[in-house]
């Protein structure tokens, strides 16, 4: 991602070049066209006075606009300057045009017309005698005159001057195209890295403490200027950013920092394959396996920050303090901190809500992880957060829950094939390569083709093959979801399925997700579902949500968050559509 100031200069130069160049090009184009039309030979009647006035008015209006526009862009905004310069330059151009037309027609008369330049008797107009023989009264030739001979009656100068003045005053402040610098800069700043401790006045306080100014500003957002936690404030002392008396932001948020123990995606997926859960189709899903016993997440420490600052500024402060969190006592913490320093994004992260000390062996300790990035305020992201908040540093790997079925055959003909459901967490890359990944200037994004490659299975394998597993649609134990066998010539595909919550004794609000213990005889909790969770409903009701991933070109941050909050289920392609 480019430096915002460099990008701002680039956009400004591009727009200025258009605003300066377009009037100049238009001015040159109309005068060139008028010149070419004026020197055209006319065997009949030349241009009439009315037509001459109309041409002069058009030329004067465009000339006045082009001249005054250049002065306006140069910072000369006084109307008197526009009028004076417009008249002077406009009259110079018109006078030069008149002389050029006379010379141009004389040149055109000799070549290519092959005539002799002459002048009409009693008139100050150029003419051309074509095909005549000197001294032969029987071959006088043809007398050709230009469309406009360059003559300028006194009243034409007055009309031209008025048109120049009107054009200069009416259009000097009108842009060719609306500016997009503000919108581009807003989008750039939403995904721009913050300065971290460099933006803290007087540096960090004891134990890295900082405080923030909570004033409301004239530009419509909280101030959020950071100061050292040890700074002694005098009564009425002004904030350096909002230029108002400093008001302390009272609310702080304490984060528990976690990050992955490794960035090797093959190692992570090998651990997930070891912890894959399989069970007979139609039966309830057993609890998640912990056969590996490997903790995917490492607790790095705790950081306390004001909730008024942006996510990018919070991540910048966290990155500046990561090295200080390494005590050297735990090699896992040291390796995780070095990995986060080298790969973690400075623009986006994930928040978990609650305590997860006993769930760090899972790829997804919190299925309701919330995605935050850029200029979002912590207070907006954590509006409904409880006392415990976990900040997961994002090193570019995203865990997805995938549920599918399979049919296992055996080489021995006497063994009956087994059909089972399976649940596995799969890690997929979400960060780009190159300089952006190295500097942490990226936001999670999934390309559709890349996602399908990571989730690909051997879907068209011959069902009669021995000793292999053939993918089948995921089958829930809920009676409302009957098994739909996939046609022989139809592929299987993935659709998003909302997480389901067990019917609770207390009322469950729409949109709330309870991840206590998963069962299959559940009802959905989603604001899109027209279901009253406080009343009796059909047990085992299941809805598919979302489109097939075969139709996804790429996923933005909202879809990435939704994908982590829901699971992917393998279903027949026709059912997915």
Domain ranges of the chain: 4-171, 252-498+543-576
Buried b (16+ CB within 10 A) or exposed e, 67-87: bbbbbbeeeeeeeeebbebbb
d(CA 216, CA 212): 12
d(CA 342, CA 431): 13
d(CA 75, CA 575): 65
Q: Where are the alpha helices (DSSP H) in 230-288?
A: 265-274
Q: Residue 39: which of 171, 128, 146 has the closest Cα?
A: 146
* pLDDT tens per residue across span 337-394: 999 998 899 999 999 988 888 889 999 998 788 999 888 899 888 886 667 899 999 9
Residue in the block written with tokens 């008197």: 80
Q: Which residues contact 444 (CB under 8 A, 6 or more apart)?
A: 345, 348, 371, 394, 396, 398, 430, 431, 557, 560
Burial of 569 (0-12, 13-18, 19+ CB in 10 A): buried
Q: Token digits for 28?
A: 């040159």
Q: What are the E-state strand segments in 394-524?
A: 397-408, 418-429, 446-447, 469-472, 492-497, 500-501, 523-524
- Calculate ∠ Cα 45-50-53, nearest 5°: 120
Tell me the CA distances in angstroms from 362 to 80, 147, 265, 390, 427, one per residue in order. 75, 87, 15, 15, 12
Residue in the block written with tokens 């389901």: 500
Hey, what's the torsion of the CAs at 271, 274, 276, 280, to 10 degrees?
Answer: 180
Q: Render each residue's pLDDT in the chain as its tens digit; 577 residues.
A: 556 778 888 888 999 999 999 999 999 999 889 888 887 777 556 777 888 888 888 988 999 889 888 888 888 888 888 888 888 888 898 888 888 887 777 777 767 666 766 766 656 667 777 776 666 666 666 777 777 877 788 888 898 889 988 888 887 888 888 888 888 887 777 777 888 888 888 888 777 789 999 998 887 788 889 999 888 888 889 999 889 999 999 888 999 999 999 999 999 999 999 999 988 887 888 888 788 889 999 999 999 999 999 999 999 999 998 988 888 888 999 999 999 998 899 999 999 988 888 889 999 998 788 999 888 899 888 886 667 899 999 999 999 999 888 888 777 777 777 888 989 999 999 888 776 677 788 888 888 777 888 887 655 556 566 666 777 888 776 544 334 444 555 577 888 877 654 433 344 444 443 333 333 333 333 333 333 323 332 333 333 445 677 777 777 788 888 888 888 888 876 655 5
């Amino acid at each position: 991602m480019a430096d915002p100031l460099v990008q701002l200069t680039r956009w400004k130069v591009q727009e200025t070049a258009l605003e300066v160049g377009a009037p100049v090009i238009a001015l040159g184009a109309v005068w060139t066209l008028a010149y070419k039309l004026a020197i055209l030979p006319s065997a009949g009647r030349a241009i009439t006075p009315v037509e001459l006035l109309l041409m002069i008015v058009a030329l004067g209006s465009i000339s006045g606009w082009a001249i005054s526009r250049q002065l306006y862009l140069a910072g000369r905004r006084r109307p008197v300057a526009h009028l004076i310069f417009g008249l002077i330059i406009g009259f110079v151009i018109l006078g030069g045009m008149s002389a050029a037309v006379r010379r141009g027609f004389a040149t055109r008369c000799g070549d290519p017309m092959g005539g002799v330049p002459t002048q009409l008797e009693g008139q100050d107009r150029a003419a051309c005698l074509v095909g005549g023989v000197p001294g032969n009264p029987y071959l006088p030739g043809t007398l050709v005159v230009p469309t406009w001979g360059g003559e300028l009656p006194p009243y034409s100068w007055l009309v031209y001057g008025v048109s120049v003045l009107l054009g200069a005053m009416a259009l000097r402040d009108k842009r060719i195209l609306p500016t997009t610098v503000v919108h581009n800069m807003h989008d750039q700043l939403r995904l721009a890295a913050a300065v971290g401790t460099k933006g803290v006045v007087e540096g960090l306080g004891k134990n890295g403490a900082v405080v923030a100014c909570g004033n409301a500003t004239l530009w419509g957002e909280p101030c959020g200027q950071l100061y050292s936690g040890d700074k002694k404030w005098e009564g009425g002392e002004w904030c350096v950013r909002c230029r108002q008396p400093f008001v302390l932001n009272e609310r702080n948020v304490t984060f528990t920092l976690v990050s992955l123990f490794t960035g090797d995606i093959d190692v992570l997926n090998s651990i997930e394959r070891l912890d894959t859960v399989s069970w007979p189709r139609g039966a309830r899903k057993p609890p998640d396996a912990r056969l590996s016993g490997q903790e995917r997440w490492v607790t790095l420490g705790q950081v306390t920050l004001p909730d008024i600052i942006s996510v990018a500024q919070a991540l910048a402060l966290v990155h500046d303090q990561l090295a200080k969190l390494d005590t050297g006592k735990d090699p896992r913490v040291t390796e995780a901190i070095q990995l986060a320093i080298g790969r973690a994004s400075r623009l986006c992260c994930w928040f978990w809500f609650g305590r997860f000390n006993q769930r760090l062996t899972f790829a997804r300790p919190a299925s309701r992880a919330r995605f935050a990035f850029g200029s979002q305020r912590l207070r907006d992201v954590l509006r409904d957060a409880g006392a415990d908040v976990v900040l997961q540093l994002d090193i570019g790997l995203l865990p997805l829950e995938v549920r599918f079925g399979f049919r296992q055959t055996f080489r021995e003909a006497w063994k009956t094939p087994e059909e089972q459901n399976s649940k596995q967490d799969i890690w997929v890359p979400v960060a780009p390569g190159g300089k952006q990944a190295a500097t942490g200037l990226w936001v999670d994004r999934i390309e559709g083709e890349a996602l399908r490659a990571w989730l690909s299975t051997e879907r068209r394998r011959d069902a009669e093959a021995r000793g292999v597993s053939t993918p089948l649609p995921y089958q829930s134990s809920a009676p409302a979801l009957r098994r739909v066998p996939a046609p022989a010539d139809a592929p299987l595909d993935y659709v998003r399925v909302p997480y389901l919550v067990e019917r609770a004794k207390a009322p469950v609000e729409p949109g709330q997700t309870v991840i206590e213990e998963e069962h299959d005889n559940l009802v959905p909790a989603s604001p899109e579902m027209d279901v009253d969770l406080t009343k009796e409903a059909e047990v085992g009701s299941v809805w598919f949500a979302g489109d097939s991933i075969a139709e996804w070109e790429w996923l933005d941050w909202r879809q990435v968050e939704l994908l982590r909050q829901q699971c992917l289920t393998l279903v027949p392609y026709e059912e997915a559509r």
